[in-house]
Amino acid sequence: MESDELVALCYPQTNASCRTPKQPPGQAMLFYLLLSSISLITVALNLFVIFAISYFRQLHTPTNLLLLSLSVSDLLVGLVLMPVEIIYIETCWLLGNVACALYYVADYIITSASVANMVLISVDRYVAICKPLSYLSQVTKRRAWVSVGLCWLCSVVYRLLLLHDHLGQPGKSISCLGECVVNISNMAGTLDLVFTFVLPITVIVMLYMRVFTITVRHAHRMRLHVNAGQVQGTVKKSELKAARTLGIVVVVFLICFCPYYFPTIAGEDTSVDATLAAYEIWLTHINSCLNPIIYALFYPWFRQCIKLIVTLQFLKPGSRDAKIL
User: Rounded to 10 degrees, what is the CA torsion of 31, 29, 272, 257?
Assistant: -10
pLDDT higher than 80, residue 303: yes
- 131-144 pLDDT, tens digit per residue, is 888 888 888 999 99
Res. 160: pLDDT tops 90: no
Confidence of residue 239 (pLDDT cuts 50, 70, 90): low
Give pLDDT, residue 23: 67
Ranges 27-31, 35-39, 203-207, 300-304, most confident: 35-39
Q: What does the DSSP 8-state code read for residue 21?
A: P
**Distance separating alpha carbons of residues 27 and 282, to the nearest angstrom:** 16
DSSP line for 41-71 = HHHHHHHHHHHHHHH-GGG-SHHHHHHHHHH
Average pLDDT over residues 287-303: 82
The Cα–Cα gap between 144 and 156 comes to 19
The rounded distance, in Å, linking the Cα atoms of 13 and 96 is 16
Q: Which of 94, 285, 260, 261 is nearest to 179 (CA)?
A: 94
Fold category of 2-321 in CATH: Rhopdopsin 7-helix transmembrane proteins (1.20.1070)
Domain extents in the chain: 2-321
Q: Tell me: the pLDDT tens digits for 51-103?
A: 999 999 889 999 899 999 999 999 999 999 888 888 877 777 888 888 888 88
- Mean per-residue pLDDT over the chain, rounded: 79
**How does DSSP assign 226-255, residue by residue?**
--GGGSTTPPPHHHHHHHHHHHHHHHHHHH
